[in-house]
């Protein structure tokens, strides 16, 4: 009886326990389902569609790939707002973020009289010390402000080419702003004159890197013109400009419009300059050109505020008076008009007197025609000799009486006008001067016009027909650096620079060759050239190096004495290095004793990751030519020298 009661109690407890377990499982299942459903719904509502929710008892597991770490954190926080945060298990991953894009490497360089400033970002692999040394050399003692930062990213493909070109430009331009990045170099600079602007643009164009976009903008100060002059005319050949100057672009536009209305169809080369006598200069010039157009011919010269109108021969006097009167009343107050109606000259049985000056393309000048007296004839010959060289003058003049007043002045003015031409002819007559020929100066017509107006007065009648030939322009026709080296190679193909034995004195026989090389270099403009000396291997190495250095210096000194601009040249002695022939034979030693000319090509900015092969591949190899010292000690003489006389063998 008692045993049955015990079993009943045990069974009751067992049944109660099982019921409790079942109830607990049911409760957990319900809580799990509701928790999972609640969290999943919340994540979906907040846009986390990539997340999936699993239940593990009372724990909620969130899986999926979050786009960023911040989104992952916000998803956990959202789940923690539905269930206790301790029950949330983070099983999410984060999508690999894209690599941060490399920044744009760029340098802004400013150079002026206060020094050089640099600001920008460069690769960390750049050798800062080498870069700083290069900038200090360019600054030439001026302060250098270095505000460059570095970034540890790969060097862009064309970065070194851009940087090298930027530094070459910086070295040439003392007042400049240069912007450099991997694909583009922008050069803005100020030059001292239009001629220097042209020279700098030509020099910079020579070394442009092929894979880098280059923009060059060099400005030049406006020239000061006195007198401020415009000369316009209409003859049988049509409208013409002999000179044109303007103070503003608006004045240029007004002048061009008036000339176009008068029938001028060519390009008007009007120089923007300083020195205009009035702010209404363009208006005054346009009115004067219109007057010539109304007369259907003639010439007008505006020099400062003086307007000189020369009507064509045979103009109706009444029409002439009407045009001149309208011009006088329309011009601004500061301008004054002088008008002349030519009268047909009386015919002379001998024809009008004439003086002719001719200059050939080779530079030979012939003076022919009538001269008033022996003194004037001597003055004309001496003046021409001063302009063209004494050995280039041929006199064919004839002294006669009865020449017009001022004939001597007209003759000398004609000779000076001829000096503006590379070749051509000047014909002087009592009523006019004709100038025909070719020139390498784009402003030659304007220069000749101002010259004749200054010498002969504003009423002077002259006809200028000058053609600009680019090949004659000493600046535009500069040879390239490579062409200069090739020319030196040509003149040294069969000749060599020789020295007196055992010395650095250039032998007398080598002087003509030095002269020829100097003439070539004078035409090449500013170049960076290395003059290198070499010896053979006979003697001590140190003595050979010193001898080769002295000989290279001697060549540089000889070029300087011939007025070659050698400020950018370097002389260096390499001694017996880099032989080009076998030093075991006399012929080989003879070939190894030489002088070489080569272009100095700026090296890339050194970088730790740059190999010698990469450097060689980025810069062209120097073009060289050699000049070999001769007249050295023979092999027999060398065998008799002592060790202290080793230099004599080289």
Looking at residue 250, its pLDDT comes to 93
Region 197-223 average pLDDT: 82
Rounded-to-integer distance, Cα 154 and Cα 94, Å = 27
Interval 104-112 mean pLDDT: 92
pLDDT at 613: 37
Q: Residue 27: phi, psi to the nearest 5?
A: -65, -45
**Residue with the two structure tokens 């006809």:** 463
pLDDT at 614 over 50: no
Residue 224 lies in a domain: no
Q: Residue 451 carries which DSSP code?
A: H
Q: Is residue 348 part of a domain?
A: no
Q: How confident is the model at residue 453 (pLDDT cuts 50, 70, 90)?
A: confident
Look at residue 436 and tell me whether its pLDDT is greater than 70. Answer: yes
Closest of 225, 336, 227, 340 to residue 284, by C-alpha: 336
| pLDDT band per the 50, 70, 90 thresholds, residue 462 | confident
Domain count, the chain: 5
Confirm whether 99 is domain-assigned. Answer: no
Which token pair is 408? 């001597």
Question: Of 291, 308, 340, which residue sits at a domain end?
Answer: 340
Is residue 287 domain-shared with residue 144, that is, in the same domain?
no
Average pLDDT of the residues in 524-547? 83
DSSP letter at 391 equals: G
Average pLDDT over residues 124-141: 85
Query: In this structure, what CATH number is given to the domain that contains residue 542?
Result: 3.30.1330.60
The pLDDT value recorded for residue 636 is 37
268 within some domain: yes
Residue 121 CA: distances (Å) to CA of 107, 150, 452, 638: 6, 5, 58, 59
Check whether residue 544 and residue 440 sit in a common domain.
Answer: no
State yes or no: pLDDT of 632 exceeds 60: no
Residue 25: predicted pLDDT: 63
- Report the pLDDT value the prediction gives residue 117, as an integer from 0 to 100: 93
- The pLDDT tens digits of the residues spanning 273-320 come to 888 999 999 999 999 999 999 999 999 999 999 999 999 888 888 899
Kindly provide the b/e burial profile for residues 219-242, where b requires at least 16 CB atoms within 10 angstroms of the residue's own CB: ebeeeebebbbbbbbbeeeebbbb
Q: Do 263 and 215 share a domain, yes or no?
A: no
User: Residue 627: is its pLDDT beyond 50?
Assistant: no
User: Edge to edge, what strands does the sheet with 594-599 contain?
Assistant: 570-575, 529-534, 594-599, 624-627
DSSP state of 479: P
612 has a pLDDT exceeding 70? no
> Which domain-ending residue is among 413, 442, 472?
472
Query: In the predicted model, what is the mean pLDDT of the chain?
Result: 82
What range does the domain containing 520 cover? 481-649
Note the pLDDT tens digit of each residue in 225-267.
Answer: 888 999 999 988 889 888 899 999 999 999 999 999 999 988 8
Q: Is residue 295 part of a domain?
A: yes
Question: How confident is the model at residue 642, as a pLDDT?
Answer: 33
Confidence (pLDDT) at 525: 67
Would 406 be classed as within a structural domain? yes
pTM: 0.51
- 276: CB partners within 8 A, 6+ apart: 228, 245, 246, 247, 251
Is 522 found in the same domain as 636? yes
Q: Write the DSSP assignment of 401-414 as a string of letters.
A: S-PPTTHHHHHHHH
pLDDT value at 349 more than 90? no
Least confident among 31-40, 179-188, 617-626? 617-626
pLDDT at position 246 = 93
Decide if pLDDT at 640 tops 60: no
pLDDT digits (tens, 9 = 90+) for 351-380: 688 999 999 988 899 999 999 888 999 999
The whole-angstrom separation of Cα 231 and Cα 489 is 49
Question: Which pLDDT belongs to residue 633?
Answer: 38
Mean pLDDT calculated for residue range 172-178: 91
pLDDT at 14 over 90: no
The tens digit of pLDDT for each residue in 37-79 reads 888 888 888 888 888 888 777 788 888 888 888 888 888 888 8
Distance between CA 182 and CA 165 in Å, rounded?
11
Of 219, 243, 263, the residue that ends a domain is 219
Q: Where are the alpha helices (DSSP H) in 296-389?
A: 317-330, 374-388
Q: Are residues 180 and 239 in the same domain?
A: no
Residue 505's pLDDT is what? 85
Beta strands in 2-114 (DSSP E): 52-56, 59-66, 88-94, 106-112
For residue 366, give Cα distances in angstroms to 377, 393, 430, 448, 465: 13, 6, 20, 20, 20
3-state class of 242 per DSSP? Answer: strand
If we measure between CA atoms, which residue out of 392, 359, 233 comes closest to residue 299?
A: 233
Specify whether the CB–CB gap between 155 and 129 falls below 8 A.
Answer: no
Q: How far is 126 from 198, CA to CA, in rounded Å?
A: 34
């Amino acid at each position: 009886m008692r045993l049955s009661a015990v079993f009943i109690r045990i069974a009751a407890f067992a049944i109660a326990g099982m019921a409790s377990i079942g109830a607990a499982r049911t409760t957990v299942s319900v809580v799990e389902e509701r928790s999972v459903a609640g969290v999943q719904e919340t994540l979906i509502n907040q846009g986390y569609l990539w997340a999936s929710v699993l239940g593990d008892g009372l724990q909620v597991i969130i899986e999926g790939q979050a786009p960023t770490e911040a989104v992952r954190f916000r998803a956990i926080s959202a789940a923690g707002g539905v269930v206790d945060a301790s029950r949330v298990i983070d099983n999410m991953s984060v999508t690999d973020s894209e690599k941060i894009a490399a920044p744009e490497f760029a340098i802004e360089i400013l150079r002026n009289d206060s020094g050089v400033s640099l600001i920008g970002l460069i690769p960390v692999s750049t050798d800062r010390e080498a870069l700083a040394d290069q900038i200090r050399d360019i600054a030439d003692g001026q302060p250098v402000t270095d505000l460059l930062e570095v970034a540890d990213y790969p060097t862009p493909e064309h970065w070194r080419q851009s940087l090298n070109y930027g530094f070459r430009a910086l070295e040439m331009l003392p007042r400049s702003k240069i912007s450099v990045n991997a694909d583009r170099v922008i050069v803005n600079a100020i030059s001292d004159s239009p001629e220097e602007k042209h020279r700098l643009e030509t020099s910079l164009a020579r070394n442009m890197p092929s894979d880098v976009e280059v923009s060059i903008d060099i400005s030049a100060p406006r020239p000061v013109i006195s007198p401020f002059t415009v000369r316009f005319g209409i003859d049988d050949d049509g409208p013409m400009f002999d000179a044109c100057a303007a103070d503003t672009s608006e004045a240029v536009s007004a002048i061009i419009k008036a000339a176009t209305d008068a029938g001028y169809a060519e390009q008007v080369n009007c120089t923007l300059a300083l020195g205009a006598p009035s702010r209404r200069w363009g208006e005054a010039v346009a009115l004067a050109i219109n007057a010539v157009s109304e007369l259907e011919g003639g010439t007008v010269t505006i020099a400062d505020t003086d307007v000189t109108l020369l009507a064509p021969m045979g103009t109706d006097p009444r029409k002439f008076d009407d045009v001149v009167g309208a011009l006088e009343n329309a011009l601004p107050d500061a301008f004054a008009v002088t008008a002349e109606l030519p009268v047909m000259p009386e015919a002379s049985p001998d024809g009008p007197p004439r003086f002719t000056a001719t200059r050939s393309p080779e530079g030979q000048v012939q003076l022919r025609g009538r001269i008033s007296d022996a003194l004037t004839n001597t003055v004309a010959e001496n003046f021409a000799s001063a302009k063209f060289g004494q050995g280039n003058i041929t006199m064919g003049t004839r002294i006669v009486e009865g020449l017009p007043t001022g004939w001597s002045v007209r003759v000398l003015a004609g000779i000076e006008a001829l000096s503006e031409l590379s070749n051509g002819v000047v014909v002087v007559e009592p009523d006019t001067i004709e100038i025909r020929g070719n020139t390498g100066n784009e402003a030659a017509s304007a220069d000749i016009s101002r010259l004749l107006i200054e010498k002969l007065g504003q009423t002077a009648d002259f006809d200028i027909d000058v053609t600009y030939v680019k090949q004659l322009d000493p600046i535009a026709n500069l040879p390239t650096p490579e062409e200069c080296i090739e020319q030196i190679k040509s003149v040294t193909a069969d000749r060599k620079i020789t020295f007196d034995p055992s010395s650095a004195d250039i032998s007398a026989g080598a002087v003509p060759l030095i002269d020829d090389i100097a003439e070539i270099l004078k035409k090449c403009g500013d170049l960076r050239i290395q003059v290198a000396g070499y010896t053979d291997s006979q003697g001590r190495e140190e003595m050979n190096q010193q001898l080769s250095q002295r000989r290279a210096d001697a060549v540089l000194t000889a070029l300087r004495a011939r007025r070659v601009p050698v400020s950018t040249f370097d002389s260096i002695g390499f001694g017996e290095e880099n032989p080009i022939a076998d030093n075991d034979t006399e012929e080989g030693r003879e070939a190894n004793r030489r002088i070489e000319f080569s272009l100095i090509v700026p090296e890339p900015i050194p970088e730790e990751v740059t190999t010698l092969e990469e450097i060689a591949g980025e810069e062209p190899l120097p073009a060289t030519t050699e000049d070999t010292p001769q007249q050295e000690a023979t092999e027999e003489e060398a065998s008799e020298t002592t060790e202290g006389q080793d230099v004599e063998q080289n």
